[in-house]
Structure 1
C-alpha cells in the first residue's frame, strides 16, 4: 500500500472505531466520546496493538504516516488551546474576585500539594523522570497535572447537566478559568531554559507589545475578518513561543488569552469548538496513544496512575470543601463543584504531552498521567449524578 492509502486507513480506524464503541455500548453516561477516543488511542498504541499485531502495527503506523498524523494533531490542539484561552472571562472573575480567588486558590493549591506528595513517592524509584528533566521539574509538572481542570470538557459536562448558563455553572467557569491561567503560567516556569532565557525574555516583551497592537486591530476590523486575523496571530505567537523554548502550546494559549471572546460571535465560537473536537482532536488522541509506554511494567504504570488519581480527586475535593467552609456554602455544594472541577481529560493530556516533548517526564510517567486523566473524567458524571440522587442536590446544584 502507498503512504496515502496507509494514511487514509489509519484515519478510517481513528474515526470509526471510537464512534462505534461509543454508540454500540452506549457509554455516554460514564465515558463520553472524547474519553472513548482517548482510550482507543491507548489501545492502538505500541503497548497494546503494537504488541498484539507488531507487523501490521509497524506497517500501518510507519514514520511517514505518523508524521502526517502529527501535523494534523499539532494544528488541531493548537486551535483547541487557543479557543480555551479565548473563552476566558477575566472580567467576571474580577467582579467576583474574593469568592473566585479563594475558591480557585484552594482548588489549585490543595491538589497541587497532594500531587507533589504522590510525585515525590513515585520519584523514589527510577524511570519516571525524562532525559532532560530535573527532579524538581518532574515533581512540579506531575503535581500540576494532578491539579488541572479540563475547562473545555467541563463546559461539555455542564451542558449535559444543563447548568452551564445558570449562576452555579458560571461560578464554576470562573473558578476553572482562573486556575487555567495559573496552570499555563506554571508550565512556562517549568519550561524556563537558562540557555534560552534571553530568547524567552525577548519573546515575553515582544508578546506584550504585540498583544497591545492586536487588541486594537481586532476590535476595529469587521467581524468577517476577525477569525482570519486570529488564526494568523495564533500561528505567529505559537511559532515565536516554540522558538524561545516555551513550547508552541504555551504560545497558543497566550494568543487566545490576549483576545476578548466577545469580539467573536458566541454561537459560531461554540460551533467552531465542536468542529475541532469532532474533526481534528481524534487524530491528536491517536498520536497521544502512540506515545504511551509500558516499559516500567503494566502493574507499575497502573499503580502510579491509581496513586495520581487518588491525589487528584482527593486533593480537589479537599480544596473545594476548604473554600466552601471559608465562604459558607450550603451543604452539598462543595462536593458538587469539586467533582466537576476534578475533570481532567484534554487539558491535562496536552499539559503532560508538553512535559513529554521537553523530556521532563518519561513515557511511563506520561502513560500514568494519561490513564489518570481518563479515570478522572470517567468518574465525573456518575459521581455528580449519584450526588444529585443521594444528597438531594438539584440539577442546578442547589438544595430542593
Structure 2
C-alpha cells in the first residue's frame, strides 16, 4: 500500500499541476485545469475507460490517506485565505461594496432555495430522499458563492487590479465570503460530527468557541509568538497547529473543519501597520498550492457522470444559467445603483460569477453532511466548472463591447513557483494567490 500511495501521489501532483499550467496557457484559471484533472482521474472517465487501471492506481486502501492529504491542504489554504482577508480595502466605496455583496448573495440565495422547493419532484429523480430546511438553504448557498482567489487572479491577469470595478469586485467578494461561510456554518449545524449532542447545544458551544477565539486568540498569539522573536519556521508550525486545532473543534461541533481554518486565519496577528507577514504567507500559499490537487482528485472521485440521467443534465443546464444570470444580474444592478457606469457595473457582475475552489469546498462539505446526493453533487460540480470557465469569455465580451482597452494576457508564473502568478494583496505584499 505504501507503493500504491507514493505512485498515486506522484500521479496526482504531476497531472494536477500540468493541467493547471495548461489551463493558464488557455487563459483560464489554474483551478479549471486541476478540477478537470481530478474528474479525469476519477471513476467517471479513467474508471470507465480503464477500470482495472483505475483500481490499480487508486485502490480503496489508500483512500483514507488521500483524503487526509486533501484535508491538510484545505485547512492550510483556508487559513491563508482568512489571514489575507482584509475588509479595510473597501475604503470610500464601502457602502457600494456592501450593497453589491448583499445583492449578489441574496438574489442567488432566494432563487436557489426557491428552485429546491419548486422542483422537489425532480430532485427525487436525482436521489435526494426528502427536502429539509438544511437542504433548501444549502441549495441557495450553492448558487450564492463567489471564489475570491479565482476572482483575484482574473482581476490581476486582465489589468483590472487598480480599477474601480476590480477593487469593488474583490471587496464585495470578500464580504460575500463572510456572509456565505456564516450561513453555511448554520446550515451544517444539524449535520456532521458531534451528533451525540443536540444541535442547540452545538450551536451554543460553537458561538462560545468563536467568541472566545475572536476575543482572546489574537492577543495571546501575538504575546507568545511575535514578541518572543521566535524563529519563523517554528512560528509557522505552531500557527498551522493552531489552525488544525480550531478546525478539529469546529468539525466536531458540526461546523466542518473549513470554518475553524478560516477563523484561525482571521485571528492570526499581522505585522505593525496591518501588513501581512511574508515569512508566514509565502509558505502557507506554497504548501496549499502544492497539495491542493489531492483535494481535486478526492472531489473528482465523488463525481459520477454515469449516474446523471436526463433529469440531471437538464438540471445542470438550468442551474448553470441561473447561477450566471443571478450573479451577474444582481451584481450589475447593485453596482449601477452604487454609482458605477453601465460598463463598469457589468464588469463587476461578471467577475462575481466566478465560483472555483470555494464552491467545491462548500459542495464537499454538503456532500459529507448528507445535504447532497451523489448525482446532485455531480451536477453542482459541473456548474462550478462551467461558471468559472465562462467568466473570462464574458469579461472579454463586456470589456470589448464597452470599447475599453484590450484585456492583457496573463503574465508568466514567477520562476520556481510551479503555480499561479503572484498577486499584490491589499496590504502591498506580493503573494501567489493559489488556484
TM-score by length of 1: 0.89
Instruction: Report the alpha carbon displacement of residue 248 of structure 1 after superposing the two structures with TM.
Output: 1.1
Alpha-carbon distance between aligned partners in 2 of 1:81 and 1:9, rounded to the nearest angstrom:
27
Alignment pair present for 1:312 and 2:323? yes
Instruction: Report the alpha carbon displacement of residue 395 of structure 1 after superposing the two structures with TM.
Output: 6.7
Partner of 1:372: 383
> Any stretches of 5+ residues in structure 2 without a counterpart?
191-196, 409-435
Determine helix, strand or coil for the equivalent of 1:342: coil
Contact 2:165–2:345 (8 Å) recurs in 1: no
> 266-275 or 288-297, which moves further after superposition?
266-275
Partner of 1:339: 350
Instruction: Report the alpha carbon displacement of residue 113 of structure 1 after superposing the two structures with TM.
Output: 2.3
Contact 1:150–1:345 (8 Å) recurs in 2: yes
Alignment pair present for 1:231 and 2:240? yes
Alpha-carbon distance between aligned partners in 2 of 1:26 and 1:344, rounded to the nearest angstrom:
16
Alpha-carbon distance between aligned partners in 2 of 1:226 and 1:4, rounded to the nearest angstrom:
31
1:129-148 correspondence runs (5 A)? 134-148=131-145
Instruction: Report the alpha carbon displacement of residue 298 of structure 1 after superposing the two structures with TM.
Output: 4.7
Alpha-carbon distance between aligned partners in 1 of 2:308 and 2:127, rounded to the nearest angstrom:
16
Contact 2:75–2:258 (8 Å) recurs in 1: yes
Question: How many pairs align?
Answer: 393
Contact 1:119–1:142 (8 Å) recurs in 2: yes
Alpha-carbon distance between aligned partners in 1 of 2:393 and 2:150, rounded to the nearest angstrom:
15
Determine helix, strand or coil for the equivalent of 1:171: helix
Alpha-carbon distance between aligned partners in 2 of 1:205 and 1:75, rounded to the nearest angstrom:
25
Instruction: Report the alpha carbon displacement of residue 75 of structure 1 after superposing the two structures with TM.
Output: 0.5
Alignment pair present for 1:173 and 2:170? yes
TM-score by length of 2: 0.82
User: Could you say if the C-alpha distance between residues 18 and 241 of structure 1 is closer, same or farther in structure 2, counting changes exceeding 3 Å?
Assistant: closer
User: Could you say if the C-alpha distance between residues 268 and 14 of structure 1 is closer, same or farther in structure 2, counting changes exceeding 3 Å?
Assistant: same
Deviations 1:115-158 (A, max 9, x none): 23443354322154656x74332222122111100011111212
Partner of 1:282: 293
> Any stretches of 5+ residues in structure 1 without a counterpart?
none
Contact 1:123–1:135 (8 Å) recurs in 2: no
Partner of 1:101: 98
Alpha-carbon distance between aligned partners in 2 of 1:211 and 1:257, rounded to the nearest angstrom:
8
Partner of 1:217: 220
Q: Which residue of 360, 364, 368 maps to 1:353?
A: 364
User: Could you say if the C-alpha distance between residues 387 and 278 of structure 1 is closer, same or farther in structure 2, counting changes exceeding 3 Å?
Assistant: same
1:1-400 correspondence runs (5 A)? 3-21=1-19, 28-93=25-90, 96-125=93-122, 126-128=124-126, 134-193=131-190, 195-220=198-223, 221-222=225-226, 224=232, 226-259=235-268, 265=276, 267-268=278-279, 271-272=282-283, 274-294=285-305, 296-394=307-405
> 117-126 or 256-265, which moves further after superposition?
256-265
Determine helix, strand or coil for the equivalent of 1:149: coil
Deviations 1:57-88 (A, max 9, x none): 22321222211111100010111122222222
Determine helix, strand or coil for the equivalent of 2:175: helix
Contact 1:192–1:245 (8 Å) recurs in 2: yes
Contact 2:20–2:31 (8 Å) recurs in 1: no
Instruction: Report the alpha carbon displacement of residue 365 of structure 1 after superposing the two structures with TM.
Output: 1.1
Contact 1:129–1:360 (8 Å) recurs in 2: no
Contact 1:316–1:342 (8 Å) recurs in 2: yes
Determine helix, strand or coil for the equivalent of 1:211: helix
Contact 2:29–2:154 (8 Å) recurs in 1: no
RMSD over equivalenced CA pairs, Å: 2.6
User: Could you say if the C-alpha distance between residues 280 and 264 of structure 1 is closer, same or farther in structure 2, counting changes exceeding 3 Å?
Assistant: farther
Contact 2:332–2:347 (8 Å) recurs in 1: no
Determine helix, strand or coil for the equivalent of 2:121: coil
Deviations 1:265-317 (A, max 9, x none): 35456634542453110111000000112464354333322211111110011
Determine helix, strand or coil for the equivalent of 2:214: helix
